[in-house]
Amino acid sequence: MTTTLQTPAPPGASERSSRSLVDTVFRAREISIAGALVLLVLGTWLTNHRFLSEQGTKDLMLNASILVLLAVGQSVVVITRNIDLSVGSVVGLSAFACGTFVSDTDRNAVLVLLLGMGIGAVCGLVNGFLVSFGRVPALVVTLGTLYIIQGIDHWWAHGEQINASEVPEGVLDLGSGSVIGLPYLSLIAAAVLVAVAYYLRSYRSGRELYAIGSNPDAARLAGVPIRRRVLTAYVLCGTIAGFAGALWLARFGTVVADNAHGWELTVVSAVVVGGVAIVGGVGTVWGAALGAMLLTTIGSALVVLKVDPFWEDAITGALLLAAITADRIVNVRMTRALRKRSARHGHGA
């Protein structure tokens, strides 16, 4: 009689295998979004060749840049199983504050960007403190600060606006200039995207954000400083939103009190469509950026195809529902697969 000895799986093999399965599934999600984006661009171009003209391509990149920035910041918060609905209001406040700061003066563009980032950081600090240390639900906190920031912005503006003629050329060049055909705005967004992606992947504090979103109780038992990490996520999100507000001024020149009004829902949609799970712990800023590019490209394509703008909101809503449904289906199937895999490892041991 022959006895077959089974070698136990090495310690941690099941966990590494599970993580690999999750990474593979969501990498496929990002690839599918990129494929949809390419098909959309090619389909629109075949209908109207001016869509990918030199100016058309530049407009596509410029239109996506600010939303990509906001999606990157929002994804860091969503990964921790939270949300920030105040980003649109922060953009509006930052844009108007920066516009007031440079109005009829020759301010340096770097100072304008630093001012925007500072305003955003303060807003993010307030949100993060209330959520992490005050333990108030993120939805309640950020919905409240959304209206508070909007109120401050309207009180400050008094119905006035900052015109492009009042903004220094150095600031406007930041929003309209380019190098080797690539807009400065797009290069800045790409740099921020790469920096945040590297932080989340390569630094322990970045990886701990995923641990918090995946299982807060387990993260706490592992010694992860949850409150500080969540606070950091909100400050980073707010800083990027303030930075985006300064770039909004550079991009459009003319700013009013309600700039980026309603963008918070578009940003959340881009993040979720891009594969960042609304329940936290899963997704990448690369996927969020692809989601932002897909949504802005849909808007541009509808204009070129002369389709009623109503359909942009309808399509965005449909994509959001599809993404949430897909996440739910994937989560259920992965849970079953991981249970079967764990059972096999346990039986083999």
Write down the pLDDT at residue 23: 55
Cα–Cα distance between 121 and 241 in angstroms, integer?
9
Condensed to tens digits (0 to 9), the pLDDT of residues 256-276 reads 888 888 888 889 989 988 888
Q: Name the phi and psi angles at 315, rounded to 5.
A: -65, -40
Prediction pTM value: 0.85
Task: Name 85's Cβ contacts closer than 8 Å, sequence gap at least 6.
Answer: 139, 142, 143, 146, 264, 268
- Architecture label for domain 66-341: Orthogonal Bundle (1.10)
Task: Give the confidence band of 241 by pLDDT, cuts at 50, 70, 90.
Answer: very high
In one-letter notation, the amino acid at residue 81 is R
Task: Decide: 238 and 120 in contact? Cβ < 8 Å.
Answer: yes
The set of long-range contacts for 127-131, using a CB threshold of 8 Å and a minimum separation of 24, is: 127/84, 127/86, 127/234, 127/238, 128/230, 128/231, 128/232, 128/233, 128/234, 128/235, 128/238, 129/231, 131/82, 131/230, 131/231, 131/234
Place of tokens 């401050």: 152
H-state helical runs in the chain: 13-47, 54-79, 87-102, 109-132, 138-157, 169-176, 184-202, 204-214, 216-221, 226-252, 263-273, 285-304, 310-348
Assign 10 a pLDDT band (cuts: 50, 70, 90).
very low
**Nearest alpha carbon to residue 237 among 227, 229, 225:** 229
> Taking 80 as the threshold, does the pLDDT of residue 245 lie above it?
yes
**Domain map (residue ranges) of the chain:** 66-341
For the stretch 17-32, pLDDT in tens is 445 555 555 566 778 8
Using one digit for the tens of pLDDT, what is the confidence trace for 183-194?
999 999 999 999
